[in-house]
Amino acid sequence: MAKGRAIICEDRCKGCGLCVTACPQGLIELSKKLNNSGFHPAVVSDMEKCKGCALCALMCPDVAIEVEKEES
């Protein structure tokens, strides 16, 4: 099974939550803590389950997400 990694740049994130609804696995949530700009940044709760589909990144208005996928 393909394994992915969504890397969210905490400081670019404005905590809008569009990635949260975009993730088909429901793996993204907004952090309780604040980033340097005072937003609750998005975090991946369980990276093990990320498939690297990049839908979160597609919907991110702030280009805060990079996605990697492992190739077998």
Partner 1 sequence: MSAAKVFTKPASMTDKIMHFCPGCTHGIIQRLVAEVIDELDIRENTIAVGPVGCAVFCYDYWDVDFHQASHGRAPAVATGVKRVHPDKVVFSLQGDGDIAAIGTTEIVHAAARGEKISCLFVNNSIYGMTGGQMAPTTIVGQKTTTTPGGRDSNMAGYPVKLTEMLAVLDGTAYSARVSVHNPANVIKAKKVIKKAFEVQIKGEGFAIVEILSTCPTNWGLSPVESIKWLEENILPYFPIGEFKTPGEVSR
Rounded Cα distance between 42 and 34, Å, is: 10
Nearer CB in complex with partner 1: 16/45:
16
Question: Per CB under 8 A, which of residues 42..61 are in contact with partner 1?
Answer: 52, 54-55, 57-61
Q: What is the DSSP string of 3-19?
A: -EEEEE-TTT-----HH
CB of 5 to partner 1, least distance (A): 7
Coil, strand or helix at 29: strand
One symbol per residue from 6 to 45: x for binding partner 1 (CB under 8 A), - otherwise; what is it?
A: -----xx-xxxxx-xxx----------------x------
Q: One-letter amino acid identity for 34?
A: L
